[in-house]
Copies of this chain bind each other. A is one copy, B any other.
Amino acid sequence: MTRTVDVPDLVDRARAGQPRAVARLISLVEDASPRLREVARALAPFTGHARVIGLTGAPGVGKSTSTSALVRAYRDRGERVGVLAVDPSSPFSGGALLGDRVRMGEHATDPGVFIRSMATRGHLGGLSWATPQALRVLDAAGCDVVLVETVGVGQSEVEVVSLADTTVVLLAPGMGDGVQAAKAGILEVADVFVVNKADRDGADATARDLKHVISLGRRERADAGWRPPVVKAVAARAEGIDDVMAALDAHHAHLRDRGELPRRRARRAAGEIEAIALNTLRSRLGTGQAGTAATRLAEQVATGTLDPYTAADHLITALTT
């Protein structure tokens, strides 16, 4: 498909809040379009504004409902909101999360809300590649807040958490107790815990267990002064959302007051740059002079005329000259 793309015009229209322009830009970065670099350059001056909030938790804890409730709360404040729904296990190749779409339906016609589902198609480094770039699009499009929703399973979740200024971990009574959360390494990354479906039996026990585990845990992160609060909510009825918002604001203020916000964002950018650089180098191995060198070096190592470390030194030279 050869469709002319006028990147500066797209960026202008995205900044003016046109949903189709925003969607088109995200598609360009998600598909690793040849125009990717041009898009990135055009977006850069308008980024660095949005607060990024990650939401994660096991399937069934009510992530989409909670995300939707938070969207409403931020909209009530008059803020522009972006949502990136990342589901590494989604079988839909285009990444559409039907459940989200349905639940997010109330926001579908709101010009102050951009919702995008992303699947992890795995090309060019998967999540770590496309999601930060989609985030930049929403940031440049004037979103005050971007909510990144992920299924709380494994590596891809941790990658997405690393994008967020504030990470919210959702639990539900009788589903994932505090100990399980601790096992999953989730204590390490959570800034705010929400016990959702708090009208169910066992909500108090879950909250209590969680607080106990938090009191035992040592926080390894730079903001050791922050103890993650545990907030109870019933997102489906919008109960407790004020408390969640208060916790999110408190964490944001904490980061800001300690000068931690720019540090966290610089760390995020560092990871992003490194991933792009290593991917770029890796892709050079398949083609041109570096590719030829890689093939020759592999043969030498396979036949024992060269050791792999010396070969790696030669490969680095070939990659970079």
Using CB atoms and an 8 Å cutoff, list the residues of chain A in contact with chain B.
36-37, 40-41, 43-48, 132-133, 136, 262, 265-270, 272-274, 276-278, 280-282, 285, 294-295, 297-299, 301-313, 315-316, 319-321
Q: How many copies does the complex hold?
A: 2
Name A276's contact: one of B36, B273, B276, B308 (CB within 8 Å). B308
CB of A256, distance to nearest CB on chain B (Å): 15
Beyond A273-B294, A273-B312, 4 extra complex contacts between A and B, CB < 8 Å: A40-B310, A262-B303, A269-B298, A274-B294
List residues of chain B with CB within 8 A of the CB of A281.
Answer: 278, 281, 316
Of A265, A274, A277, A313, most buried by chain B (CB within 10 Å of CB) is A277
Of A36, A302, A313, A316, most buried by chain B (CB within 10 Å of CB) is A302
Question: Are A298 and B267 touching (Cβ within 8 A)?
Answer: yes
- Among residues of B, the one whose C-beta sits closest to the C-beta of A276 is B312
Of A45, A276, A280, most buried by chain B (CB within 10 Å of CB) is A276
Question: Are B316 and A44 touching (Cβ within 8 A)?
Answer: no
Interchain CA distance A295-B271 in the complex, whole Å: 11
List residues of chain B with CB within 8 A of the CB of A315.
Answer: 273-274, 277
